[in-house]
Structure 1
Amino acid sequence: MRARRLLAIVIKELRQLRRDRLTFAMIVGIPVMELVLFGYAINLDVRGLEAVVVDQADTARSRELVAQLEATQVITLERRAATPQAVDELLRRGVVDVGLVLPVDFEARLERGDRPPVQLIVDGADQAVQAAARQLRHFPVPDAAGWTARVEPVEVVNYYNPERRAPINTVPGLIGVILTMTLVLFTAIALVRERENGNLEMLIATPLSRWELTLGKVLPFVAIGLVQVTVVLGLGRWLFGVPLRGSPADLYLASLVFILASLSLGIFLSTLARSQFQAMQMAIFTFLPQILLSGFMFPFAGMPRLAQWLAELLPLTHFLRLVRGIMLRDAGLLELWPAVAALAAFTAILLGLAVSRMHKRLD
């Protein structure tokens, strides 16, 4: 008798699960997404770092060395510069990850073997770039056999994080991760909660427009997001000594744009969900690709092109470029305008979709 009752409950839950299409889809969707992301998109081998070369020697052996370094596929030499100062500027703006400098006396250094003939300038704000520098540190220089016992062939200059401390890389990224996890979840359940509590009909009866109703649900969370940014910055500085080299105003403006992008994603999800539980499921479903593909946990340069294109559609990818550029490289907001433009476009599109769907539901 007990077994029959238990079986009835099990059958009832299975039927309920079959009717709940979102939960049923996530049972299959989450394992598939994790398998694809970890097995295909996530690659710990750093490849294709954007690099600029300064070949002041311009000899046959210097050109041979540049070709051999590019053949490793660790770096992609798509830019050339005339002076090391140009490399500094490109690194600060986040245009390149690595600068390769071959000095005028490249040939003389090869012959004497008393000084490294190659200088590798890397963006130490990115742990993936540091890993690539370790791979290239002992790269064999053409026709230099025997001299490398005295000095290393490649001198690595680590900008922005010379001590290679992990918190310098992770704490700025944690600002974006924390904002993503909290704000998307908060706003994803906003409209659903109003509907379940019976307050949505009252809101419909007010003279509020669709845009006013949407923004009214979003704006209170902006202040919450800015408070979270302040808390993480303060704790990061106090506990780990993470610097803020750029303008605080630029950082807060960048955070504001990202907060609006995260809130727009959350409010859009709330128009799709029919219950608070579904809204939470959808929010969690968006966390995984953002955290894994944005470059926070795994090297962005090591991902296949398809995964990188997908990552460009995610707001956290662009915010990581902003927050690391401002906090660690002293880059200005105007210098990082592509990331700001991407977040602004994401916000406009998602808010527009949310308002349009809210109009259909209210009608």
Structure 2
Amino acid sequence: MFGIILIAPVIQLIFLGYAANLDIEKIKLIVFDQDKTSTSRKLVEELTSSGYFVIQEYVNDYKSVTTYLDYNKAIVAVVIPNDFEKKINRRETTKLQAIFDAADGNTASIAAGYLQQIILQFAKNTSFQMMQKSGNLIIPVGNITPEIRVWYNPTLKTRNYMVPGIVGLLLSIVTLLLTSLAVVKEKEIGTMEQLIVTPLKPYQIIIGKLVPFILLGFLSIVIVLTAMRIVFDIPVKGSIPFLFLSAFFYILSTLGLGLFVSTISKTQQQAMMIAVFAVMMPMVFLSGFAFPIENMPEIIQYISYIIPLKYFINIIRGVISKGLGFAELWINALVLLIMGIFIIVLSSLRFQRRLD
């Protein structure tokens, strides 16, 4: 229990923090250069010098292109036609082929964005150099120049978005799973019957079982936030008291769900299976932790409104990443409080009937 409560959250935070990374940094590239001119080589140099693309091989036919893509040895193949430089010098429209392995649509779309940006910049620089050489340099008037400002995550790292959500995920594991297992264990070893015959009232037994896990939940939050700051250098920008208050509201929901699981389980193995597959996995999938809720079918979006983790992740990401507080996130906190009271009251009533 000591290891699960104090050590496992830190290990899971580190593993998930490094694993939950959608950033594409090294894109495997193969080049089919039919032109083999200085201009085509310059284009390839632009791709590699960007830091996004790593050339795996230069190939000489389409069959090799297909082989590399089929066996996952490359994500994108760039095919440069044999009249590439000639058409550029003639100032004609020049076609360039890029073939993507889009089995992973997210990776392919990001790689396509990088490739398009580099090629557009290459075309712009090439055109500018040709105009300079010809002496017909014309400075356009009234260009629109965007000034981009990236808020909240200037480095655009996926980790800065995913790691705060992991805090809510680990808190769910500690409170929901351990609560259900602890109560069921009391039944298995026979101590629950001993508690029933004591002068303790049912609500006192319930409080006695839940209060320790509330304290353990807060202890886990402190440990995980500290590890998040030290390992990933992600500070809490917003109100820490509001974050802990919201965590208490969320813990009410997870404790209630854990208590409910214990009332329908006879063994610890059964409690773990129900808690993980019937409660935890739907919460993770429908909370917006990994998948944007806006991209889900409309009926699934409506179902997500009854998922407590959804509101807690909104609060965590708002407080940690954006520096928000009660004024901006009070609706999420209020929903968590209402859901927490509702769930824990119903679960306590069911647990109390089982005790009777």
For the aligned pair, the TM-score class normalised by the smaller chain equals 0.5 to 0.7
Q: Deviations over 1:283-308 (max 9, x none)?
A: 11211111111111111211122111
1:235 CA drift (Å): 1.4
Identity across matched positions, percent: 34
- Structure 2, unaligned runs of 5 or more: 1-21, 23-105, 118-139
Q: Corresponding residue for 1:320?
A: 313
Rounded to whole Å, the distance in 1 between the matches of 2:210 and 2:348 is 12
Partner Cα separation in structure 2 for residue 170 and residue 181 of structure 1: 17
Match of 2:231 in 1: 239
Q: Report SS of the residue matched to 2:324.
A: coil
Residue 276 of structure 1: CA displacement? Answer: 1.3
| Structure 1 unaligned blocks of 5 or more | 1-43, 45-126, 139-146
The correspondence for 2:177, drawn from 185, 189, 198, is: 185
Distance 1:296 1:354 in 2: 26
1:115-156 superposed Cα distances (whole Å, 9 cap, x missing partner) = xxxxxxxxxxxx9xxx9xx8xxx9xxxxxxxx899656x655
Residue equivalent to 1:161: 153
- How high is the TM-score relative to the length of structure 2? 0.58
Pick aligned residue for 1:332 from 276, 301, 325? 325
Q: Deviations over 1:141-193 (max 9, x none)?
A: xxxxxx899656x6553221121122211111010011112221101122211
Measure the CA separation in 2 of the matches of 1:190 and 1:276: 8
Q: Does 1:357 align with 2:350?
A: yes
Equivalenced residue count is: 224
Equivalent-residue separation in structure 2 for 1:252 and 1:335 (angstroms): 16
Task: Describe the shift of the 1:155–1:197 C-alpha distance in structure 2 as closer, same or farther (beyond 3 A).
Answer: same
1:293 pairs with 286, 292, 304, which one? 286
Q: Cα deviation per residue 1:255-312 (whole Å; 9 max; x = unaligned)? A: 2222222111111111111221111111112111111111111112111221112111
Q: Which residue of 1 aligns with 2:299?
A: 306
Partner residue of 1:208 out of 186, 192, 200: 200
- Runs (4 or more) in structure 1 with deviation over 6 Å come to none
1:281 counterpart = 2:260: no
Task: Label 1:268 to 1:335 Cα distance change in 2 as closer, same or farther (>3 A).
Answer: same
Whether contact under 8 Å (1:183, 1:259) holds in the other structure is yes
The CA distance in 1 between the partners of 2:213 and 2:324, in whole Å, is 27
Q: CA deviation at 1:207?
A: 2.5
Per-residue deviation, 1:209:
2.4
Q: Provide the residue aligned with 1:112 in structure 2.
A: none
SS at match of 1:346: helix
Give me the whole-angstrom Cα distance separating, in 2, the residues matched to 1:318 and 1:250. Answer: 14
1: CA distance between counterparts of 2:348 and 2:180? Answer: 14
